[in-house]
Amino acid sequence: MTAAVLSGRELAAAVRAATADEAAALTAAGTPPRLAVVVATADESSAWYVRSIARAAEKAGIVCDIVDLGPGATAEEIRVRLGELSADDTVHGIIMQTPLPAGVNAQETALAIAVAKDVDGANPVSLGRLAAGLPAFAPATAEAVVRILEHHEVPLTGRHVAVVGRSTVVGKPVAHLLLDRNATVTVCHSRTADLAAVTSAADVVVAAAGRAGLITAEHVAPGAVVIDVGTNPTPDGGLVGDVDAVTVADKAGALTPVPGGVGPVTTALLLQHTVRAAAR
Amino acid sequence: MTAAVLSGRELAAAVRAATADEAAALTAAGTPPRLAVVVATADESSAWYVRSIARAAEKAGIVCDIVDLGPGATAEEIRVRLGELSADDTVHGIIMQTPLPAGVNAQETALAIAVAKDVDGANPVSLGRLAAGLPAFAPATAEAVVRILEHHEVPLTGRHVAVVGRSTVVGKPVAHLLLDRNATVTVCHSRTADLAAVTSAADVVVAAAGRAGLITAEHVAPGAVVIDVGTNPTPDGGLVGDVDAVTVADKAGALTPVPGGVGPVTTALLLQHTVRAAAR
């Protein structure tokens, strides 16, 4: 058996196309949508990611400002800049790129992003609103997981989903989004005893631990759906997920590829959130 | 086999005693701690609960104001009053009692409670801060679950906890508190397929569905620890939990009683939160 490939590319293309239409309409109406990405790191893979967002934004007709504060920026400098962008009526979406300089608390700092412009759901207030069922942008990666499942018509109501990873960026918000869709949700993590026993009892496994190859065939029930959120850099400059695709593909029913799965949908959703923020 | 009784009374008494000491010290220092309970319902069990909080507060040396807006209060009236209390320097803790009048969104309304005074963790912002690891008061009931487990030295790291119920008041925040303590957490609910299969795989079951007798022996692994959050009124004016204690006590390793389990700890924590808010 070989798992079906749950590509994110077609969904991402559809979201980007709809977003470009909305962006064009907003621009024609005198409100060119604008995204600001605040960077405070010299990290190379981060720089690569930011450039890919900027390129995608440009193609969609969204102005993208990269606000580089340098790797020496203090928490206060980052907060002040996020506050200024939050108050700037010409800016509709704000992304605070990670990693931040050592010692800067990402959660605390993200409180300075206006909720209405928090297109990557980084502000803890957005997470709380999401959990409480109030309007807010979800972190784009977490939303991408659910959108891919929906796009490929994977049923969620009453199904058991194991989320591996408890980060504020993916694990926790994806758990809330899945609960909203009536899934039974188990959140596993590095301290989970017998991870394979827990995940192999699930209909769907969401791998978001940030550890290359963590999820192997023994972690997956025959026929299960596996969503790979991992983006782990390889020594040769490539990218691998948290799932050992070679062994898992022989056992799972369906699997997202890396690259080409969650990643492109995430970027497309960041842009979609930005035009939605601009349309308000 | 008969399950050990995980009483909440001793823990509640200890928390109340420590709280009374702190309240006395604050009062002596010129800051008498003050709790405001906003009520907008004619519901009888709610009125009973509010009176019990007021009595407990008085005994602990905390001033308790019951702010009764009547069952006809509008969302706007409740919000305005919560805002006034949030701005009043003599008030340290604010509880928004439920139920609210029909049509009033509790989550939306609770946004008007200042986070620093949100002693029952009702504001979605408090929930988001909690999930993100930032200082905030947890809903007292959710915290009571974890405090009882800790008081009775039930290990949580790496253990599997099934939480039955996904409310913003208990299920979701207790999931975050348990994840913080390194438990593997499954959130189940009314749409969970084969609830008994899921809960009987867990080391600890937290029953917070609000349905009398939902959890029976078949839902519980032999020797498991069961925390009963339910407080369901009986026709004769009594109170029963979500757990069918008669059958579960023969199979579980330990079980909280109703009443006398989570309830008294919840009330004690509300008061402890209030003195902590006053001490800032």
pLDDT tens, N- to C-terminus, chain B (280 residues): 589 999 999 999 999 999 999 999 999 999 999 999 999 999 988 998 999 999 999 999 999 999 999 999 999 999 999 999 999 999 999 999 999 999 999 999 999 999 999 999 999 999 999 999 999 999 999 999 999 999 999 999 999 999 999 999 999 999 999 999 999 999 999 999 999 999 999 999 999 999 999 999 999 999 999 999 999 989 998 899 999 999 999 999 999 999 999 999 999 999 999 999 999 9
Backbone angles phi, psi at B58, to 5 degrees: -55, -45
Same domain, A176 and A239: yes
Is A15 inside a domain boundary? no
Is A89 inside a domain boundary? yes
DSSP B19-31: HHHHHHHHHHTT-
A96-117 residue pLDDT tens:
999 999 999 999 999 999 999 9
What does the pLDDT read at residue A1?
A: 58
The answer to whether residue A201 neighbours chain B at the CB level (below 8 Å) is yes
The answer to whether residue A167 neighbours chain B at the CB level (below 8 Å) is no
What does the pLDDT read at residue B1?
A: 57
Same domain, A162 and A220: yes
Same domain, A87 and A154: no
**CA distance linking residue A256 with residue A262, whole number of Å:** 7
Inform me whether the pLDDT recorded for A39 exceeds 70.
yes
Residue in A134, A182, A186 nearest the CB of B108: A134
Q: Residue A207: beta bridge partners? A: A164, A228
Cα angle for residues B147, B152, B154 (degrees, 5° grid): 90
Tokens linked to A18: 């709809």
Is A268 inside a domain boundary? no
Residue in A158, A187, A201 nearest the CB of B179: A187
**CA distance linking residue B11 with residue B217, whole number of Å:** 27
> What domain range includes position B226?
140-262
Q: How far is A202 from chain B (nearest CA, A)?
A: 10
From chain B, pick out residues whose CB is under 8 angstroms from the CB of A176.
172
From chain A, pick out residues whose CB is under 8 angstroms from the CB of B132.
107, 124, 127, 168
From chain A, pick out residues whose CB is under 8 angstroms from the CB of B186.
184-187
- The separation between CA A64 and the C-alpha centre of its own chain, rounded to angstroms, equals 18
Is A123 inside a domain boundary? no
Same domain, A252 and A180: yes
Q: In the sheet where B93-96 sits, what is the strand order?
A: B63-68, B34-39, B93-96
A45-85 residue pLDDT tens:
899 899 999 999 999 999 999 999 999 999 999 999 999 99
What does the pLDDT read at residue A44?
A: 87
Domain count for chain B:
2
**CA distance linking residue A11 with residue B65, whole number of Å:** 55
* Residue A172: CATH number of its domain: 3.40.50.720
Judged by CB atoms closer than 8 Å, whether chains meet at B184 and A184 is answered as no
Closest CA to B1 of B272, B254, B266, B268: B254
What does the pLDDT read at residue B127?
A: 98
Which residues make Cβ contacts (< 8 Å) with residue B253, sequence separation at least 6?
Answer: B3, B4, B222, B223, B224, B225
The answer to whether residue B4 neighbours chain A at the CB level (below 8 Å) is no
Is A271 inside a domain boundary? no
Same domain, A91 and A50: yes
Is B32:B247 a contact under the CB 8 Å cutoff? Answer: no
Q: Supply the ipTM of this predicted assembly.
A: 0.96
* Residue A52: CATH number of its domain: 3.40.50.10860
The answer to whether residue A47 neighbours chain B at the CB level (below 8 Å) is no
Q: Residue A232: beta bridge partners? A: A240
The answer to whether residue B181 neighbours chain A at the CB level (below 8 Å) is no
Last residue of a domain, one of A114, A149, A173: A114
Residue B257: what residue type? P
Is B113:B82 a contact under the CB 8 Å cutoff? Answer: yes
Q: How far is A66 from chain B (nearest CA, A)?
A: 26
Same domain, A147 and A104: no
Residue in A107, A111, A193 nearest the CB of B133: A107
Is A21 inside a domain boundary? no
Q: Which of B:244-273 have CB within 8 Å of A? A: none
Residues contributing to the annotated binding site of B for NADP(+): 165-167, 231
**CA distance linking residue B33 with residue B279, whole number of Å:** 8
The answer to whether residue B161 neighbours chain A at the CB level (below 8 Å) is no
Is A8 inside a domain boundary? no
Tokens 């993200």 sit on residue: A110
Same domain, B174 and B226: yes
Sign of CA dihedral A214, A219, A222, A228: negative
Tokens linked to A166: 């408890």
Which residues make Cβ contacts (< 8 Å) with residue B268, sequence separation at least 6?
Answer: B11, B12, B13, B15, B16, B19, B56
DSSP-H helix ranges across A152-230: 171-180, 195-199
Inform me whether the pLDDT recorded for A27 exceeds 70.
yes
Percent helix, percent strand, percent coil in chain B, to nearest 5: 40, 15, 40
Sign of CA dihedral A104, A108, A109, A110: positive
A265-275 residue pLDDT tens:
999 999 999 99
Residue B205: what residue type? V
* A187, A189, A198, A206: best to mutate for the B interface, most B CBs within 10 A: A187
Q: Which of B:123-142 have CB within 8 Å of A? A: 123-134
The answer to whether residue B104 neighbours chain A at the CB level (below 8 Å) is no
Residue in B130, B166, B185 nearest the CB of A187: B185
What does the pLDDT read at residue B237?
A: 83
Is A18 inside a domain boundary? no
The answer to whether residue B163 neighbours chain A at the CB level (below 8 Å) is no
Same domain, A188 and A227: yes
Q: What is the 3-state secondary structure (H, E, C) of B234-250?
A: CCCCCEECCECHHHHCC
The answer to whether residue A181 neighbours chain B at the CB level (below 8 Å) is no
Please name the residue of chain B whose CA is at the shortest distance from the CA of residue A189: B184
The answer to whether residue A13 neighbours chain B at the CB level (below 8 Å) is no
Percent of chain A with pLDDT over 90: 96
Same domain, A185 and A219: yes
The answer to whether residue B220 neighbours chain A at the CB level (below 8 Å) is no
Burial class (CB in 10 A: 0-12, 13-18, 19+), A88: middle
Q: How far is A184 from chain B (nearest CA, A)?
A: 5
Cα angle for residues A146, A149, A154 (degrees, 5° grid): 135
The answer to whether residue B115 neighbours chain A at the CB level (below 8 Å) is no
Same domain, A182 and A145: yes
A171-218 residue pLDDT tens:
999 999 999 999 999 999 999 999 999 999 999 999 999 999 999 999
Judged by CB atoms closer than 8 Å, whether chains meet at B175 and A158 is answered as no
Same domain, A43 and A92: yes
Judged by CB atoms closer than 8 Å, whether chains meet at B185 and A182 is answered as no
Same domain, B71 and B160: no
